[in-house]
Chain A
Amino acid sequence: MTPKTTLFIVFTFMTGWLRAQTVISGTVKDTRGHPVRGASITIKDSYDGATVDSTGAFRFKTTETGPHTLTITNIGYFPVEQPINPSGEAITLHIAMKEQLSELKAVTITAGSFTAGDAKRGAVLSSLDVATTAGSNADITAALKTLPGAQQVGESEGLFVRGGAGYEAKQYIDGTLVNNPYFSSVPDIASRGRFSPFLFKGTVFSTGGYSALYGQALSSVVLLESIDLPEKSEIDASISPIIVGLGTQQLAKNKKSSYGFSYNYVNVGLYFKAVKQVPDYYKMPQFHNGDANFRIRTKNGGMIKYYTTFAYSDLGLRRQDVDTLNAKNAFGITNHNWYNNLSWREYLNNGWKMDLGASFSTNLDNLGQQVQDAHNQLKTFPDSVFWMNFKTFAVDQRQELSQIKAVFDKKLGGISSIRFGGEYWYAYNYQHYRTQQYNIDSTYKFRDHYNAVFAESDIFLTNELAAKLGVRFEHSSVIRRSDLAPRVSLAYRTAPDAQVSLAYGIFYQKPENSQLFYTTNVGFTKATHYIVNYQKMSKDRIFRVEAYYKKYEDLIKTVPVSYNYSIYNNSGSGYAKGVELFWRDKKTIKDFDYWISYSFLDTKRNYLNYTEQLVPNFAAKHTASIVTKKFFTKIKSGFNLTYSYATGRPYYNFRLAGGPKFDLAQQGKTKSYQALNFSAEYVPTIGNPKARTFVVLFASVSNLLGYNAVYGYNFSYSGQYKQPITPPANRFYFIGCFLSWGVDRSQDAINNNL
Chain B
Amino acid sequence: MRKTLFALTLLASLAVSAQSDKYTQMMQKNISLLDSAKSIDELQSLAGTFDRIGDAEKTKWLPYYYAALAQTWVGWNPATKDKDGNSAKINAYLAKAEAIEKNAELYAVENMSATQQMLVDPQSRWMTYGKTAGEALQKGLQADPNNPRLYYLQGMSLFGTPPQFGGGKDKAKPLFEKSVSLYKSAHPEPLAPTWGQKQAEDMLAQCN
Contact = CB atoms under 8 A, between A and B. Distances in A.
B93 to A, nearest CB: 10
Contacts of B45: 50-51, 53
Contact of A3 (B6, B166, B167): B6
Given A633-B162, A688-B166, A47 B41 contact: no
Contacts of A750: 135, 138-139
A104 to B, nearest CB: 7
A11 B142 contact: no
B89 interface: yes
Nearest to B135: A750
A40 B64 CA distance: 14
A750 B45 CA distance: 36
A104 B84 contact: yes
A693 interface: no
A686 interface: yes
B14 interface: yes
Contacts of A634: 164
B192 interface: no
Interface string B86-100: 001100100000000
Interface in B1-20: 3, 6-7, 10-11, 14
Interface string A34-48: 000110111011111
Classify chain B: how many residues form its interface, as a range. Answer: 35 or more
A47 B52 contact: yes
Contacts of A45: 55-56
Interface stretch (B120-128, B173-181, B195-203): B120-128
Contact of A636 (B10, B46, B164): B164
Contacts of B105: none
A694 to B, nearest CB: 13
A754 B135 CA distance: 11
Contacts of B41: 51, 53-54
Contacts, number: 90
Nearest to A104: B84
Contacts of A51: 41, 44-49
Contacts of B165: 633, 686-688
B22 interface: yes
B48 A49 contact: yes
Given A7-B7, A54-B41, A76-B85, A689 B166 contact: yes
A231 B124 CA distance: 15
Contacts of A53: 41, 44-45
A119 B127 CA distance: 10
A69 interface: no
A746 interface: yes
Indicate the member of A40, A634, A690 with the most B CB atoms within 10 Å: A40
Interface in A668-693: 686-690
Contacts of B110: none
B1 to A, nearest CB: 12
A47 B41 CA distance: 19
Interface string A20-62: 0000000000000000011011101111111101100000000
B53 interface: yes
Interface in A116-134: 118-119, 126
B162 A754 contact: no
A283 B172 CA distance: 59
Given A38-B89, A633-B164, A47 B22 contact: yes
Contact of B49 (A49, A76, A633): A49
A50 B41 CA distance: 11
B60 interface: no
Contact of A38 (B44, B52, B138, B164): B44
Contact of B52 (A37, A40, A539): A40
B59 to A, nearest CB: 13
Indicate the member of A46, A47, A53 with the most B CB atoms within 10 Å: A47
Interface string A724-752: 00000000000000000000001000100
A440 interface: no
B14 A11 contact: yes
14 contacts: A3-B3, A38-B44, A40-B48, A45-B55, A46-B52, A47-B49, A49-B49, A51-B44, A75-B88, A75-B89, A75-B92, A119-B128, A686-B165, A688-B166
Interface of B: 3, 6-7, 10-11, 14, 22, 26, 40-41, 44-49, 51-53, 55-56, 84-85, 88-89, 92, 120-121, 124, 127-128, 131, 135, 138-139, 142, 161-162, 164-167
Given A42-B52, A45-B55, 4 more contacts: A42-B51, A539-B120, A539-B121, A687-B161
